Amino acid sequence: MNVLVINCGSSSLKFQLINAETEAVLAKGLCERIGIEGSQLVYQPAGGEKEKTLADMPGHTQAVQMVLDALVNEKTGVIKSLDEIGAVGHRLVHGGEKFACSTVITEEVIAAVESCNDLAPLHNPANLIGVRACQELMPGVPMVGVFDTAFHQTMPEKAYLYGLPYEYYDKYKVRRYGFHGTSHSYVSKRAAELAGRPYDQLKTIVCHLGNGASVCAVQDGKSVDTSMGLTPLEGLLMGTRSGDIDPGVMEYIAKKEDKDIYQIMEILNKKSGVFGVSGISSDFRDLEAAAEKGDHAGVRALEAFEYRVAKYIGAYAAAMNGVDVICFTAGVGENGPDTRKAICDYLGFMGVEIDDEANKVRGEERLISTADSKIKVYCLPTNEELAIARETLALVKK
Ligand code: AMP
């Protein structure tokens, strides 16, 4: 069965058409600037050239229509008719406490996701617009929702509660939820396969280090803690997000700079992280280039990032009373040997030993620890689209 995987944002829509049995990607691409002047479709069939088509996309329905047209196009299409799409898998960001696993999308499910909109006001409504657009253009095709938060619903109370008055949890469900769940789940399962160990008897720490970044402790196949919280702002320093800070900093800066809470949130989300600390860029390639030239601004941002990741790994090793496997994934995790090495240099006390030759790897699955290392360390590319296609197939087949 072919599964169309959709990741819909407020002005963009990423897609992949995947043969869920062979797991081959038949075509992929994205629609950019939906609802904005200059919208375009980027489309790439497997083994073919990337093509860009400028076209008016006033809304997501037009964007989905462009994608479907491209998939069945006589010259560059990969299927003959839309009947060859057996199901659609949607990435949904926030399922609150309502969704602990993926689910077939019904009207009740849409209402339940809408009830979580306050928790992810930028993402959930956009995700649902994508669902509605697909329903309109592919009536009768089953749709599945795969939540970023669902994998972390196994976190125990002690890990998900904030040290706040309990009434805020009771009344508003203010708690830690965590994100990147599809990635943490995929990578931790794959690591168990690579290590030849049963998933339900393994302690794994997954470092998803991309522009957004989070660490997850996976014990016996369950997420027991993760660094993001109510929103994706908590935890690591990220590309532009601050991660953990003393909340007192917010009041202090607000007073000094005469800013309101929304302006402060904008700073914490868009102007902080390695971008803010370096004043150079949110992209690790730029920071590494700056550091190589001896620019301390690049060095201080990279060091602050690495130190924070190492601290979380130490914390999660304590949370699980040990760790068997550490994985690095996403943009920086998969492509940054120097960052991986610098993080692992903090972990010698735990018996982590990196094989410098093996660590010279980008974007490939590889064991990067030595044979003597007490903990196996992997570079392990994530594949959220494939994970969504798998979940979709499993639910639609039932
Ligand atoms: P993601 O959000 O997973 O797509 O990751 C994006 C980030 O990965 C970019 O901001 C870069 O900082 C980082 N990245 C991508 N390629 C490389 C590379 N070759 N070396 C270092 N960092 C990279």
pLDDT tens string 378-396:
999 999 999 999 999 999 9
**Residue 101 in domain:** yes
Measured distance between the N- and C-terminal CA atoms of the chain, rounded to whole angstroms: 13
CA of 20 to the centre of ligand 1 (A): 27
Q: Taking residues 190-219, report their average pLDDT.
A: 97
Q: What is the pLDDT of residue 121?
A: 87
Task: Check pLDDT > 90 for residue 187.
Answer: yes
Measured from the Cα of 239, ligand 1's closest atom is: 10
Q: Where among 129, 147, 165 does a domain terminate? A: 147
Q: Taking residues 194-208, report their average pLDDT.
A: 98
Q: What is the pLDDT of residue 332?
A: 97
Same structural domain, 215 and 308: yes
Cα separation, 394 vs 386, whole angstroms: 12
- How far apart, in Å, are the Cα atoms of 87 and each of 135, 138, 142, 300, 356? 11, 9, 5, 47, 44
**Residue 338 in domain:** yes
Residue 330 Cβ contacting ligand 1 at under 6 Å: yes
CA of 178 to the centre of ligand 1 (A): 21
Supply 127's token pair.
């995700």
Strands (DSSP E) found in the chain? 2-8, 13-19, 24-32, 40-45, 51-54, 85-92, 103-104, 143-147, 203-209, 213-219, 222-226, 325-329, 366-367, 376-379
Supply 169's token pair.
């949890």
Q: Where among 124, 147, 170 does a domain terminate? A: 147
Task: Check pLDDT > 90 for residue 131.
Answer: yes
Q: Which residue among the candidates 118, 148, 200, 324 is catalytic per the annotation?
A: 148
**Residue 31 in domain:** yes
Mutate to test the pocket of ligand 1, among 187, 214, 283 (most ligand atoms within 8 A of CB): 283
**Residue 352 in domain:** yes
Same structural domain, 108 and 213: no
Taking only the tens place, the pLDDT of each residue in 254-277 is 999 999 999 999 999 999 999 999
CA of 132 to the centre of ligand 1 (A): 32
Q: How many domains does the chain have?
A: 2
Quickly list DSSP for 242-304: --S--THHHHHHHHHHT--HHHHHHHHHHS-HHHHHHSS-S-HHHHHHHHHTT-HHHHHHHHH
Q: Taking the CB of residue 108, how many other CB atoms lie within 10 A of it?
A: 9
Please report how the helices 124-137 and 107-114 are oriented relative to each other, as an axis angle in degrees rounded to 10.
160
Measured from the Cα of 208, ligand 1's closest atom is: 3
Residue 331 Cβ contacting ligand 1 at under 6 Å: yes
Same structural domain, 131 and 220: no
Residue 286 Cβ contacting ligand 1 at under 6 Å: no
Lookup result for tokens 């660094």: 227
Same structural domain, 120 and 227: no
**Residue 193 in domain:** no
**Residue 45 in domain:** yes
Residue 284 Cβ contacting ligand 1 at under 6 Å: yes
Angle at 322 between CA 318 and CA 324, to 5 degrees: 140
Helix, coil or strand: residue 337: helix
Q: Where among 147, 162, 188 does a domain terminate? A: 147
Measured from the Cα of 287, ligand 1's closest atom is: 12
Q: What is the pLDDT of residue 338?
A: 97
Exposure string of 23-54, with b = 16+ CB inside 10 Å and e = fewer, is: eebbbbbbbbebeeeebbbebbbeeeeeeeee
Q: What percent of the chain has pLDDT over 70?
A: 100
pLDDT band at residue 122 under the 50/70/90 scheme: confident
Residue 335 Cβ contacting ligand 1 at under 6 Å: yes
Supply 395's token pair.
């639910």
**At 64, which helix (H) or strand (E)?**
helix 60-72
Same structural domain, 355 and 225: yes
Residue 283 Cβ contacting ligand 1 at under 6 Å: yes
Same structural domain, 124 and 202: no
Residue 210 Cβ contacting ligand 1 at under 6 Å: yes
Task: Check pLDDT > 90 for residue 188.
Answer: yes
Same structural domain, 209 and 142: no
pLDDT band at residue 353 under the 50/70/90 scheme: very high
3-state SS record for 367-396 = ECECCCCCCEEEECCCCHHHHHHHHHHHHH
Same structural domain, 142 and 281: no
Mutate to test the pocket of ligand 1, among 284, 343, 384 (most ligand atoms within 8 A of CB): 284
Same structural domain, 239 and 376: yes
Task: Check pLDDT > 90 for residue 10.
Answer: no
Measured from the Cα of 212, ligand 1's closest atom is: 2
**Residue 367 in domain:** yes
**Residue 23 in domain:** yes
Same structural domain, 206 and 136: no
Average pLDDT, the chain: 96
Q: Which of 316, 278, 323 is nearest to 296 (CA)?
A: 278
Same structural domain, 270 and 336: yes
Range of the domain at 347: 198-384
Task: Check pLDDT > 90 for residue 216.
Answer: yes
Same structural domain, 134 and 230: no
Mutate to test the pocket of ligand 1, among 214, 274, 309, 335 (most ligand atoms within 8 A of CB): 335
Taking only the tens place, the pLDDT of each residue in 307-341 is 999 999 999 999 999 999 999 999 999 999 999 99
CA of 364 to the centre of ligand 1 (A): 14
Q: Whose CA is nearest to atom 19 of ligand 1?
A: 335
Asked about 148 being catalytic, the answer comes back as: yes
Which residues touch 41 (CB under 8 Å, ≥6 apart)? 29, 30, 31, 52, 53, 55, 57, 63, 66, 67, 70
What is the pTM (predicted TM-score) of this model?
A: 0.95
Measured from the Cα of 339, ligand 1's closest atom is: 21
CATH of the domain at 353: 3.30.420.40
Residue 211 Cβ contacting ligand 1 at under 6 Å: yes
